[in-house]
Structure 1
C-alpha cells in the first residue's frame, strides 16, 4: 500500500488536525501522532490535592508575612500561570480552605491598639492619620528617645511580628539543648591559677560595677534602683557568701530570654538574636568577675573584642588595610580567608569553656562555680505575649551576661595560640596568622597551602568546642605577587575548603564588609557617606517629630551612625562637604531659616550661639587622626617603636605616617591644625561672631545653660515658637535692610523713620513697635515677679519714687526680712555692651538717696541690693547680671533659659510679625466692607434711641427733635436718626483718602447695607486690594518683585480683569457678567450688587488667590490647573498674549514726604 506524502506542518495544533483528517483510515498513524503531540492542556483542571497543597502553602506564607503571595505561589506551582492562581485565590471555597489551615493562634497575636480603633471606625482621613501617628511618636519619644530615634532611622516604627510560638520555641530549644560532643579541644598552653580572680570583693569594685538605672530587671523582679538601695556593707557580705558557697541561690539562676531582630523585616527564627536577662544581683557579681578577668588574664593580641582600653574595630580594620596595601604596593603574595561561625555564642560547649578556662588561669573555685551556674541555670523563652516552660541549656553562653564575653574570648584565645606557627604573613616585625573580633575570624598566610592548613586546624578546633563554620558566608582572597613584572594578580581560580565544603573565592572587583568597613583586594574602598546620610535625613524629615526633636535626633543619633565608617573608611573632602550641604539644607527647611543664614550658625557650639550640628568636613578627619594616634600609643600595635625610633622603614610606619599626614592636611585651616573637636568648635564660633547676624551672640559663652533650649529636644517650646526663636536669635526677620541685601532698593523704615529698617531699629527704636517692646519687657518682669513670690519675697511692682531729678520707677522691689532687692529689667540692643548697661542701671538708682530712703520707710529693710536684669533681644544674658541673679537665688539656670525664650517669642509675636501688615487696611474700609457702623456713630445712635424710648428731646449732628415730635412717632424718629448718621458716615467715606479699592465696589453705604454678602478670606482680598498680590507684598517687603508671572505689575485689578494667566479661572465670571450686564469688564459695584455675579466672584477669588495658583513671595511662576479639553487648551495658547518685549513699568516711587505722610496715617 502506498503511503501518502506527508507535507503538512505538524508543529502546531491546526497542522496536526489537518493531517489526521486527510490520513487514510487503514494507516495506524493517528495513535502514534497523538502520542508524540503535546499532552499538556492549556487550562488543566484543578485537582483537590493540588488545591489542598496550595492552600497549606499560602497559609504558611501568610504566617511568615511573605509579600507578593501570587508571585511566590506561581514560582512553586509552575504548571499554573499567574492569572490562574489569582483567579483560584478569589474562589470562596478555596478561601475557606486556607482559613481552616491557618493556625488559630495566628489571630491572637498582639496588635497595636490604634489599629483596632481604625478597623472599627473605617477609613480615616489623612489629617486624622497624621494626628494619630504624631501622638504615637510623641508618646514613644517621651518614653525613650533612643528607642524612638532608632525606630525612625531604621524605618521600623511598626513592630516586627515574630514568628509563631511553635516555630520559635522549637528552633531555639533545639539550639540551646544540643547534645554535647564527645571530643574536647586540645589545649597546648597552661597557666597557673590566678587566685586574685576569686579574692574578696571590695566596696569600690561594687561601686564600679553597679548597673545603670535603665537596665531591665530579671525574673526575680529586682530592679537596678532597688539593688543600689542595698547598703554596701550588706552587699559585700552577700557576695562573699556566694564566693564561699561557690554557687548562686536557685532563684538567682533563673533567667528569661527575649529575641531582638538582627535586621529589618526578620521573619525566620534564626534572624533573631537571643538575649538572656538574669537577676540584677547575678549581673553585678559577674561584672565584677569580668573586670578582674580582663585585667588579669593574658589574652592574645589577635583577639580585640570585649577588651577594655582597646579599640578593636580600629586595630583590626587598620591592620587589615595596611596588610592589603603592603601586599599590593610591594607586589607580595597573600592568602586571606574570612570565617563566619554559625550561632557561636549559643553553641559553644560548656566542657570546652571549663577546660579552656582552667588552662587560661581561672582558679578551681571559679571553675566549680561556672559548672554549677550552667548546670543549675534555666531560662524561659519569651515572645509576643507568650512564655515557654523553663528549659535547661546544655550549650552556649548567655548573651547579655557580663561574664559571657570573657568566657568566649578564652575559647578563641586557645584557638589563636594553637595555630601553626609556620603559617602567617610577616608584618611589622612579627607574623600575623589571624585577626579575631568576637566570632569574626580572619586567617592570613603567604601561600594557599598555608591558608588551607590554617583553615583545617581552625575547623577541627572549633568542632571540638561544638562550633561550626558557616561555609556559605565565608570567602577567600588569593593575591599573587609578580615581583619581576611589578604586578599583583588576584587569583579567583584558587579555592579552599572548610569541612569538605568549598568557600567562595573573591575577584579583584569584589568587595566585602568587615566590621562595618568595605574592603577590596587593594584595601579600603570609598565610603559613600552622602547616600547614607541622605536616607537618614529623609526619614527624619518624614517622621512626625517637632523641629527640636529632629535636631536632637540628627545630632545624637543620625550623624553618629556615620562616624565609624567616616573615621575608619575611605572618604574624600568633596563627599564630606556634600554631606554638610545636605544636612544644612534639611535643617534650614525644618527651622524655616533663609538661604543666606550664616553657615557658622549651623555648626557653632550651642554655648557660643549656634546650633551645635557637627560638621563632617572637620569631624571625620579629626576622629580618624585621634584613632590613628591612639593606635600608635599601643605597644602591641607593633608600629610605635618603629616610628619613634626612626630606625626602621617598615611599611607599617610609612602607612601610619602617610595617613596621619593626610588627616593633618585636611584639618589645616590657614596655619593651624584643628586637632580636636574643641578647636573646631572655636573656629566655627569665631566665624559666627565675625558675621553680621552672629556678631551679637559673642557673649553667649559667659552664661552657662542659657541656650539649652536649642539642643535639649524637650517640649519646652511648641514647634512654632521654636522656629520663631531661631529666626529672632540669628536675626533672620524680613526687614528691608535684609531683603534688599546685595541689590539696590529702598532701605528706609516703612514707619517714616529716618533710619534704615534693620532688626535692631525695628525692635528697639521704631515707634511702630513700641507696644511690642512694652509687652516684651513686661513678660520678663512678670516672670521674675512670680519666681520671687514663690521663694517667699514680698514684691512691689513699679513703685513711684520721687527724687530730686524726677520720678523713678524700678520694675520690681522684692523684700524678705532685712533684705531688699531692686530689680530693673532692660532688654538691650544687639550691639551694646551688656555689662556697661548693668553698670549704668546700678548707678541710676544707687546714687539717689531718695530711693534708699523710700525702700527703708516702706519695707523696713536696711540691706538694699541693686540687681539689674540685663539681656539682649537676641536672648543673650549679660554676664554679670546672670551671675548676680544666680548668686542671690532669685532665679536658677532653667529660669535663665525660660526668660531667654520668652524674650525671643514675644519679640517674634509682637514685633516684626505684626509690624508691616497689621494696620495696612484702613478702618474705614473695614467698616464699610463688614457693613458695621463706626463705633463713634454707633454710640450716638444708641444714645439717641435711649432718649427716644424715654420720650426726651434728641439732638444728633444737626438733627434736632423736640420731645413732642419724638412722642408723636418714635419709629419715624429712630429712622430719621439712622438716616442722619448714614449721611455723616457717607460723607466721611467720600472724604477718606484710603480704601479706594473698597470704595470702587461700595461707593454708596446705604446700598451696601442692603446687600446680603457672605464674605470669605479670598474675596476680601479682591475687595480691599490687600492680599496675595505681588505689588502689595513688594511694597511691604514680603516679596522681591512686584511683577506678575505675565510680566505686568500684579495688583487686584490686574488679577480681576487683565491677567491672561487667569483667563480659564475667569471664564465663568465673564460669561455671567455678559449675561447679567451685557458687558465685560463691568462696573465693580455690579459685581457685589448682583447675587449671581457675587457668587461667581467668590469662586474666581478662591481659584485665583489660593496658595497653589497664586504667585509665590518671590514672583515665581506656578503651574496652572490641568485642563481636560485639548481643543480649549489649543485655543487659549493661540489667543494668549505674548509678554511685552519692553521692560514693564514699575509702580510710581513715593517721595520721602509722601511716605512719611502715609506712614503717619498708618500709625
Structure 2
C-alpha cells in the first residue's frame, strides 16, 4: 500500500487479494469514522498475455466498495494522483496545455502588465513545476513551454522580437525579468530528486533505486543538460550562466553591475501597484535597452543608408545612452531627472531628522563648488552629490571621482563652520546609471543614513521612468544642433 495524506493506493497480485485489502481498509476506516469516496476511486487491472508477450489492461472485472461499484480504468484512461496525471503505463506526458490555458487567461484578465508578470512568476509557474518535476516531461515539451512563456511576455510588455532570451530568465538581481526557464530548471530539479532518492535514509528506497526499475527511472530523469557551454548542477549555477549570457549581449552589457546592489532591482517583479501599466512597460524597455532608437533599429542594415546617427545632428550614434545623457534635445530632461532624485533624497533625509541644505554655493580657490545636498544630524554633517551616469562606466570609479571633487579642505571647512560641528564631514554621492543600477558605495551610505530598501527601489524606478520620458521627448522634438533655439 502507498499512502500520502488522504490518498491511498492498494496493490495486489490477484483480484481476490485486492478485495481482501479493500475490505480490511474499509473496516479500519469505518472504525475511525472515515468513509472512502467512491466517486474519486478507481481500479486498474494489468494482466500478462503470455502468447503475445505483452501486458494487457483488463476491464472485464468489476470491484465493489460496499454496494457501489468502482470505476474501471482502460488503456486510455487517466487518473490524477498527488497532482500527477497517470496512464496505465505510467505518468502521462505533459503537452503544455495547462500553461497555454493559464497564459490566455492572464492575457484576457483586465489587470496591469506587472500584475500579469507577478501572477505568471509567483502562481502559474509554481503550479506547473510540481507536475513537470514528478511527471513525464520531454525536452521538446520543456522548450515549447519556454517559447510560449516568452511569446506571451513579449505581447504583454510589447518587447521587440530580438530581446535577448537571457533577459527573460535572468534573476531580477542580475538585471533580468526573473522568469524560470523550464528547459533548464526542470532537468536540474529532476536530477536533484534522483540524487535525493539515492541518498535516502530508507534502505527500501535505496534498494528500489538499485534495481532495473530504478535504472529505468534514473535514465528518464537524466538529461545530460548543457547550457551556455557549461554543465550546471544546481539552480544557482544555472542563474550564474544566465546572468553571464545576459551581460554578454549588446543590450544587456549595461546591467553587469546590477547584482552588486540587488534589492533595488526588485521593482521589475511587479509586486508594486504604484506604476501605471504604460510606465512599467517603458521602464522594462529602458532597463533592457529595448527602446527603438536609431542605433538599435539599424542593426543588420548598416551600410544601406541606415547608420543610426542621432537625428538631432549630434556627432554620435542615436543610442539610448546618448539620448539620456548627452543629446541636445533631452538636456532639460537630464536636469529634471537629476533634480527629481535629489529632491526625493532630501525629503527622506528630512523625515529622518536631518537638517538639509540644497545646492549651497561654496567658494574655493579652484572655483565655486555646489554639492546637491548637505545634511546634518547630531553634529555629523554629510555632503552628497547626485549623478546619473552612463551604463558603460564603472559606477564605483564615478563615485570616487565625484567624491574627490568635493572632498577638499575648503569645502569641508565651510560645512563644519556652517553647522558649527567639530566632526569632519562625510563626503559621498548618489550614483546610479540611467538603467537604475546603483553604485554599491552610494547605496550603503544611504542605508546608513536611514533610507530603506524601498527608498532605493523608488529612486531606481524614478530614474528609468524619467529616462523613458526623455526618449519620448527626443522622438517628438524637431530641435537640431544647427537650428537656432526659439
Q: Give your verdict on TM over 0.5.
A: yes
Residues 1:504 and 1:883: Cα distance change in structure 2 (over 3 Å): closer
Shift of the alpha carbon at 1:706? 0.9
Shift of the alpha carbon at 1:884? 2.2
Mapping of residues 259-658 of structure 1, within 5 Å? 434-463=1-30, 465=32, 467-471=34-38, 473-482=40-49, 485-499=52-66, 501-528=68-95, 530-636=96-202, 638-641=204-207, 650-658=211-219
- CA distance in 2 between counterparts of 1:541 and 1:706 reads 28
> Is the CA contact (8 Å cut-off) linking 1:476 and 1:503 kept in structure 2?
yes
Partner of 1:900: 460
- CA distance in 2 between counterparts of 1:887 and 1:504 reads 67
> Is the CA contact (8 Å cut-off) linking 1:709 and 1:716 kept in structure 2?
no
| Pair 1:882 & 2:443 matched | yes
Shift of the alpha carbon at 1:437? 2.7
Q: Aligned match of 2:324 in 763, 775, 790?
A: 763
SS in 2 for 1:545: coil
| Pair 1:781 & 2:331 matched | no
Residues 1:511 and 1:815: Cα distance change in structure 2 (over 3 Å): closer
Q: More relative contact order in 1 or in 2 (CA 8 Å, sep 6+)?
A: 2
Q: Aligned match of 1:851 in 392, 400, 411?
A: 411
Q: Aligned match of 1:686 in 244, 249, 260?
A: 244
**Residues 842-875 of structure 1: CA distance to partner in whole angstroms, max 9, x if unpaired?**
22122x3322232233332342111111111110
> Is the CA contact (8 Å cut-off) linking 2:194 and 2:218 kept in structure 1?
no
Residues 1:464 and 1:692: Cα distance change in structure 2 (over 3 Å): same
> Is the CA contact (8 Å cut-off) linking 2:42 and 2:71 kept in structure 1?
yes
Shift of the alpha carbon at 1:817? 4.8
Residues 1:817 and 1:639: Cα distance change in structure 2 (over 3 Å): closer
SS in 1 for 2:44: strand
SS in 2 for 1:854: helix
- CA distance in 1 between counterparts of 2:388 and 2:196 reads 49
Shift of the alpha carbon at 1:569? 1.1
- CA distance in 2 between counterparts of 1:472 and 1:799 reads 79
Mapping of residues 576-975 of structure 1, within 5 Å? 576-636=142-202, 638-641=204-207, 650-660=211-221, 662-663=222-223, 665=224, 667-669=225-227, 672-711=230-269, 713-744=271-302, 745-846=306-407, 848-862=408-422, 863-889=424-450, 891-909=451-469, 911-919=470-478
5+ residue gaps, structure 1: 1-433, 644-648, 921-1154
Residues 1:500 and 1:708: Cα distance change in structure 2 (over 3 Å): closer
Shift of the alpha carbon at 1:746? 3.3
Q: Please provide the CA RMSD for this pair.
A: 2.4
5+ residue gaps, structure 2: none
- CA distance in 2 between counterparts of 1:852 and 1:442 reads 78
- CA distance in 1 between counterparts of 2:412 and 2:38 reads 90
Shift of the alpha carbon at 1:752? 0.8
Residues 1:457 and 1:767: Cα distance change in structure 2 (over 3 Å): same
**Residues 965-998 of structure 1: CA distance to partner in whole angstroms, max 9, x if unpaired?**
xxxxxxxxxxxxxxxxxxxxxxxxxxxxxxxxxx
- CA distance in 2 between counterparts of 1:464 and 1:835 reads 72
Shift of the alpha carbon at 1:581? 1.6
Partner of 1:142: none
With normalisation by structure 1, the TM-score equals 0.40
SS in 2 for 1:559: helix
Residues 1:495 and 1:740: Cα distance change in structure 2 (over 3 Å): same
Residues 1:501 and 1:828: Cα distance change in structure 2 (over 3 Å): closer
- CA distance in 2 between counterparts of 1:577 and 1:1162 reads 54
Residues 1:781 and 1:450: Cα distance change in structure 2 (over 3 Å): same
Residues 1:475 and 1:886: Cα distance change in structure 2 (over 3 Å): closer
Shift of the alpha carbon at 1:710? 1.8
Mapping of residues 225-240 of structure 1, within 5 Å? none
- CA distance in 2 between counterparts of 1:458 and 1:437 reads 15
> Is the CA contact (8 Å cut-off) linking 1:762 and 1:769 kept in structure 2?
yes
Structure (1 or 2) with the larger CA radius of gyration: 1
Shift of the alpha carbon at 1:748? 1.1
- CA distance in 2 between counterparts of 1:471 and 1:835 reads 68
> Is the CA contact (8 Å cut-off) linking 1:867 and 1:885 kept in structure 2?
no
How many residues get paired?
482
